[in-house]
Amino acid sequence: MMEGSQGSRRPWSALDPTLGPLLTPVLPKTIEAAIDAIEAEVPGYRGSRAGPMGPVLLRGVETAFRRLLDLLGSDEVALDARAAEVYRRIGAGERAAGRTLEALLGAYRTGARVAWEQMSAAATAGGIETDDLVSLAEAIFVYIDELSAVTVAGYVSEQAAQAGYRDVVRRRLAEALVDGLAATDLEAVRRLADEAGWVFPSKLAVAVVPGAAGSGRPLPAAPADVLVLERGAEVIAVVPDPSGPGRRAALVASAPKTGVYVGTVRGPSEAAVSLAHARRLHRLVIEGVVAAEPVVVANDHLAEMVVAADPALLAELAERILRPLDSLPLERRRTLEETLSVWLGHDGDRSAVAAALVVHPQTVSYRMAQLRAELGDSLANPRDRLALRLALLGRGVHLK
């Protein structure tokens, strides 16, 4: 709490100025008792006296209690600007050392209790009046509250700084992965992951959200272990363990309206390949080869991606093997192509084809008769049937 905010809560001003000198002889004992209690009662500080934290803890407790005795009988604020800076730094140091805020506040509460126990006993022995004893209790706890507030401010400030730095490292890590650095210097990428606090996975996938970066539209928060990077108009996400339990549901829940396109699952050294596949998957959705969904996953559409890998060759195959259907009216051709795709996918089972198309089995027979008339022996040849499947996939005709 800053000096200007401490205002009217100065209960130490109501005390006799002689109380400070009266309590000074018990100060060393109070400091030792407070440190013993903090070590014993606050898990984050156990064994602190014997380690590097020992001098810091001793200095912090001693400075706090000496300042408290100086305040008794005065109208001064709990902490002047210099003292406030000291305790802000202590808070920042505790965060940097990895101690929790709960442990830090627990140490202050324990110190306040011990100060009250030791000082009230000495004050009572010195003949202090009951009203003054109450004011002393209030002075101790208000003072420790002020001290805690300034220290917490330093702790939170350091926490925010660490979080900002962690975000920078996470972006650098995402860049290293999608740029393929793990393929040439895996250990450097592992070190970045350690610095970012990111658990390095054995498998990952890279997803893209096209047109989301810089759009002004807020994106739903990604799961905490997903690395996010903006490049151009894309948002790129590195998704560890993409096949893990609940992962797809989490992606669907966080998917923006523009859709998420998830590349193939690969090792970290092939993250750049997964990104290329995610972008190819997006193009296939635009072209109508793959159906649009909130989250489109490459591993669900490997056949379509393989088929579309060489568009010129695919177009040549489709033109050759489906040419007999091209002379038909457009709607009729599309109906027959859809029927053929389902028939190939169900190995010619007329009932299954009829159920998938929601038509009468006799309708299937009629359409297949026309297809045999147009395509001739192709339907009986296993290699031609495979070519027909590939050609239909290339035209965006999907199996139901």
In the DSSP assignment, the letter for residue 31 is H
Instruction: Indicate the number of domains in the chain.
Output: 3
3-state helix, strand, coil in the chain (%, to 5): 65, 5, 25
Instruction: Select the more confidently predicted residue: 103 or 205.
Output: 205
Is residue 239 located within the same domain as residue 136? Answer: no
CA terminus-to-terminus distance, the chain: 66
Asked if the structure places residue 373 within a domain, the reply is yes
Q: Is 185 within a domain?
A: no
Domain range holding 243? 201-307
Place of tokens 């790129």: 236
SS3 of residue 101 by DSSP = helix
**The residue count for the chain:** 400
Digit-coded pLDDT (tens) for 367-378: 999 999 998 888
Give the number of other Cβ atoms within 10 Å of residue 120's Cβ. 16
Helical axes 311-321 vs 382-394, angle rounded to 10°: 120
- Do 31 and 142 fall within a single domain? yes
Of 150-154, 166-170, 187-191, the least confident: 166-170
Residue 1 has pLDDT above 50, yes or no: no
* CATH number assigned to the domain comprising residue 24: 1.10.490.10
Distance between CA 206 and CA 229 in Å, rounded?
A: 11
pTM, two decimal places: 0.52
In the numeric block, which tokens belong to residue 248?
Answer: 């797809």
Checking if the pLDDT of 145 tops 80, the result is: yes
Q: Are residues 119 and 209 in the same domain?
A: no
Domain identity same for 142 and 112: yes
For residue 195, tell me if it sits in a domain. Answer: no
| H helices, E strands: number in the chain | 17, 5
**CA 375, CA 387: separation in Å to the nearest integer?**
12
How far is it, in rounded angstroms, from Cα 38 to Cα 143? 18
**DSSP per residue over 332-383, as a string?**
HHHHHHHHHHHHHHTTT-HHHHHHHHTS-HHHHHHHHHHHHHHHGGGGG-HH
Mapped onto helix, strand or coil, the DSSP state of residue 84 is: helix
What is the side-by-side strand order in the sheet with 204-209?
Answer: 227-231, 234-240, 204-209, 260-262, 295-297
User: Alpha carbon of 110 to those of 32, 35, 39, 114: distances in Å?
Assistant: 13, 9, 10, 6
Over residues 90-97, the mean pLDDT reads 82
Q: Which one of 28-37, 44-53, 239-248 scores highest in mean pLDDT?
A: 28-37
Look at residue 4 in the predicted model and tell me its pLDDT.
39
pLDDT reported for residue 163: 66
* pLDDT for 331: 92
Three-state SS for 138? helix
Contacts of 328 (CB under 8 A, 6+ apart): 336, 374
Residue 201 has what DSSP assignment?
A: P
Which of these three, 146, 165, 184, is where a domain ends? 165
Last-in-domain residue among 145, 165, 185: 165
Last residue of a domain, one of 269, 291, 307: 307
d(CA 56, CA 105): 16
**Tens digit of each residue's pLDDT (9 = 90 or more) over 153-175:** 888 887 777 667 778 888 899 99
DSSP-assigned states of every residue in 264-323: --B-GGGHHHHHHHHHHHHHHHHTTSS---SEEEGGG-HHHHHHTTSHHHHHHHHHHHSH
**pLDDT for residue 206 is more than 90:** yes
The structure tokens 């407790």 sit at 61
Of 269, 296, 275, the closest CA to residue 284 belongs to 296
Phi/psi region, residue 114 (left: phi>0; alpha: psi -120 to 50; beta: rest), is alpha
Residue with the bigger pLDDT between 60 and 296: it is: 296
- Asked if residue 179 belongs to a domain, the reply is no
pLDDT in tens, 305-354: 887 777 788 788 888 888 889 889 999 999 999 999 899 888 888 999 99
pLDDT, residue 308, reads 76
Q: Mention every residue, 6+ apart, whose C-beta is less than 8 A from residue 311.
A: 394
Same domain, yes or no, for 129 and 25?
yes
7 and 134 fall within a common domain: yes
For residue 355, being part of any structural domain is answered with yes
Spatial CA neighbour of 150 closest among 17, 2, 249, 327: 2
Q: What is the DSSP string of 219-250?
A: PPPPPTT-EEEEETTEEEEEEESTTSTTHHHH
Domain assignment of residue 193, yes or no? no
